[in-house]
Amino acid sequence: MGLRLGVVVLTMGDRPRELGALLDSVAAQEGEAARVVVIGQGVRLPPLPDWVDAVELPENLGIPGGRNLGARRLRELGGVDVVVNLDDDGLLPRTDTFRLVREAFERERLLGVVGFRVADGTGHTQRRHVPRPGSSGALRSGKVTTFLGGGHAIRMSAIDRVGGFPSRFFYAHEETNFAWRVLDAGWSIRYRADLLLQHPRTEPARHAAYYRLTARNRVWPAKRRLPAVLVPPYLASWSVYTLSRRPPAAGLRAWYSGFLEGVRTPCPPRRPMRWATVWRMTRLGRPPVF
């Protein structure tokens, strides 16, 4: 028997048609059926297939909190080696995706995370969805230093080793914090261009709290995980990049508020990554200074 997969989908209950299509694409996957948990973030869930474990929460726990709850629920159900997190408005257009995920984790013992390629209906991948520096590479698979939240798979034993996503982040950059911990623990992260999650083209600034939470949650991983000497250049390079994007005045004010919140607010625990991990990330093309 191969590795057993579990799927976690978070929803705000406002995309029932897209959620239904996603679940149909999950059911169409080759091989052993995956356990599936759908979590309603403070909302009532629409009618779901009887093979879905539906969890309705009284409040929105945020993305990292919801994913952590989903992983715990899969443990309660039992028999899951890898958890797959998918956006509720995504779609798996290929039926061999889960088979390829199983094969990837079976082939590489220290593979901790597999990131999917996210593309719209025309096959285009937005630049922000490519987990490596540069303007190209969406179709190039390989080892990377981070992964996309909307479509990825994590080995359960990696979660056992490093813990779950940081619930306090609520939204934005929780994957960065988790990825740095995974790498520092000796696991690898792979981006797989052949594992496609079809997803509508979106802009992150559509979320009301985008600028504030993005700023705060860039500061917190640096305070938690970077060697002290790297914190200033990391935050400086990111600030320069943000300003070069010329955000609107309201967005800039929210960004500045979030940045100060991140600096002023304690965010324990502080466990700086090893310099060997810094060097490893550098060799992968993304040193933790930008």
Domain of residue 184, CATH code: 3.90.550.10
Check residue 188 and give its pLDDT. 98
Classify residue 290: in a domain, yes or no: no
pLDDT at 270: 93
- Is residue 79 in a domain? yes
Q: How far is CA 223 from the centre of its chain?
A: 20
Mean pLDDT computed over 256-285? 94
Distance CA 37, CA 51 (A): 9
Where residue 2 falls among pLDDT bands split at 50, 70, 90? confident
Q: What is the pLDDT of residue 201?
A: 87
For 178-187, the pLDDT digits (tens) are 999 999 999 9
Q: Quote the pLDDT of residue 65.
A: 98
Whether residues 111 and 135 fall in one domain: yes
Whether 117 is covered by a domain: the verdict is yes
Q: Where are the beta strands (DSSP E) in 125-247?
A: 142-144, 151-155, 188-198
Asked, for residue 269, whether it belongs to a domain, the answer is: yes
User: How far, CA to CA in Å, does 80 sit from each of 4, 25, 168, 258, 276?
Assistant: 5, 19, 26, 37, 31
Residue 149 lies in a domain: yes
Q: Indicate the residue among 202, 231, 248 that finishes a domain.
A: 202
Establish if 17 belongs to a structural domain.
yes
Model confidence over 52-99: pLDDT tens digits? 999 999 999 999 999 999 999 999 998 899 999 999 999 999 999 999
In the listed set 173, 202, 231, which residue is the last one of a domain according to the structure?
202
Residues 192 and 49 in one domain: yes
Count how many domains the chain has.
2
Q: What is the DSSP letter of 19?
A: H
**Residues of the domain holding 140:** 5-202
**Cβ within 8 Å of residue 78, ≥6 positions away:** none
Q: Is the pLDDT of residue 144 over 80?
A: yes
Residues 63 and 96 in one domain: yes
Confidence bin at 214 (pLDDT 50/70/90): very high
Question: Among 187, 202, 217, where does a domain finish?
Answer: 202
Q: What is the pLDDT of residue 128?
A: 83
Q: Is the pTM of this model over 0.85?
A: yes
Q: Do both 144 and 273 map to the same domain?
A: no
What are phi and psi for residue 206, nearest 5 degrees?
-65, -25
Q: Is a pLDDT exceeding 90 seen at residue 204?
A: no
pLDDT exceeds cutoff 80 at 51: yes
Residues 188 and 253 in one domain: no
The span from the CA of 118 to the CA of 167, in Å, is: 24
**198 and 213 both lie in a single domain:** no
Query: Do 120 and 189 share a domain, yes or no?
Result: yes
Residues 196 and 215 reside in one and the same domain: no
Q: Are residues 48 and 99 in the same domain?
A: yes
Contacts of 244 (CB under 8 A, 6+ apart): none
Average pLDDT, the chain: 94
Determine, yes or no, domain membership for 233. Answer: yes
Provide mean pLDDT across the span 29-36: 95
Domain shared by 61 and 117, yes or no: yes
Measured CA to CA, the distance from residue 276 to residue 273 in angstroms comes to 8
Total number of residues shown for the chain: 290
152 has pLDDT over 60 = yes
Q: Does residue 216 share a domain with residue 132?
A: no
Question: Is residue 288 included in any domain, yes or no?
Answer: no
Give the whole-angstrom CA distance, residue 154 versus residue 80.
11
Q: Give residue 117's pLDDT band: very low, low, confident or very high (50, 70, 90).
A: very high
114 and 217 fall within a common domain: no
- Contact indicator for 289, 222 with CB cutoff of 8 Å: no
pLDDT single digits (tens) 224-253: 999 999 999 999 999 998 888 888 888 899
